[in-house]
Amino acid sequence: MDQRAGCVAAWWDMVARNLRSFPHSCSTLGRKIATLYDSFTSKSLKEHIFPPLMDMLIFFNFFKAPFLVDLKKPELKIPHTANFYIQVEPGVILGIWHTVPSCRGEDAKGKSRCWYEAALRDGNPIIVYLHGSAEHRAAPHRLELVKVLSDGGFHVLSVDYRGFGDSTGKPTEEGLTADAVCVYEWTKARSGTTPVCLWGHSLGTGVATNAAKVLEEKGSPVDAVILEAPFTNMWVATINYPLLKIYRKLPGFLHAVMDALRRDKIVFPNDENVKFLSSPLLIIHGEDDKTVPLEYGKKLYEIAHNAYRNKERVKMAIFPPGFQHNFLCKSPTLLKIVRDFLSQQWA
């Protein structure tokens, strides 16, 4: 134990001894403090620090930009959009924006939430958008993608996972997966024969394949999956994350990072998940993506293509430099690539 941990442990030891000597009326509190002390001293300092630190770096949900946005009033940021909430489980309520296709924009004016829900059955394809880490559903680059998809004739449900935006709860891999499964099933129950696609970006690709695997195991394969800037798994992505690369040569650093991810059960194993899927799968990636390098997308495509029985169900589109990690939505070819793929798969 290092010097700082030793000082803290000594302080806890003094508090625990003093509390144990209090009168009987304080014995319960004393036992609680003593238990906390035992719990603290049974772990090293890095065990106290690394797991919450990794949670912060992976999810970054505390960074709730853009600030001063009223998430209950999406019409201030994007047209023909309604805000609503879904309860996943006790204590977890998700905030979602439903943007209808632009071709229905006039119809949507002044309409209630019930109208938006009924519109899911209008035959226009639906995308459940699972965003990356940090910020929330009103982030500018996310709104830009939603507008492109809406102009292309898609309904888009922009989901804030638990702990993001105004959604309640604390983010975990298991929790985010449950959120995506819940929203997909909620949408399918209201969409009639209209197909529903899971679209994950960055961290959201891990959420998307986790959810798709769960639904596959339930016997309800997802209608389609689109992965934008995917990684192979979170362990590989984390040790190559630009912010952490400068620390990789520190003794024991990588081991501590892996231990923290393992302890918090953070894996997001895209490379394993795609082996179990049968859903149409489109991978899109930019050549100049420095956050999640193109090599990860290529590797994931190779794994999926080898695993799928029907090779025509797996496609990859690589975009030229200029769009980096967040802005494939600016590509003039994105919409055509997506529509062509889905039309072929859903024909």
In order, the DSSP letters of 224-237 are EEEEES--S-HHHH
Catalytic, 202? Answer yes
CA 94, CA 102: separation in Å to the nearest integer?
25
Amino acid occupying residue 155? H
Judge if the upstream peptide bond of residue 66 is cis by omega within 30 degrees of 0.
yes
**Catalytic residue chosen out of the listed positions 179, 223, 271, 289:** 289
Catalytic, 289? Answer yes
The pair phi, psi for residue 92, each rounded to 5°, is: -125, 110
Long-range contacts of 302-310 (CB under 8 A, 24+ apart): 303/232, 303/271, 303/274, 303/275, 304/274, 304/275, 304/277, 307/274, 307/275, 308/277, 308/278, 308/281, 309/278, 310/278
**Catalytic residue chosen out of the listed positions 150, 202, 279, 331:** 202
CA 288, CA 285: separation in Å to the nearest integer?
9
User: Strand order in 92-99's β-sheet?
Assistant: 81-89, 92-99, 155-159, 126-130, 196-201, 224-228, 281-286, 314-319
Q: Distance between alpha carbon 18 and the CA centroid of its chain, in Å?
A: 46
Catalytic, 271? Answer no
**Catalytic residue chosen out of the listed positions 136, 167, 325, 331:** 325
Q: Which residues are known catalytic residues? A: 202, 289, 325
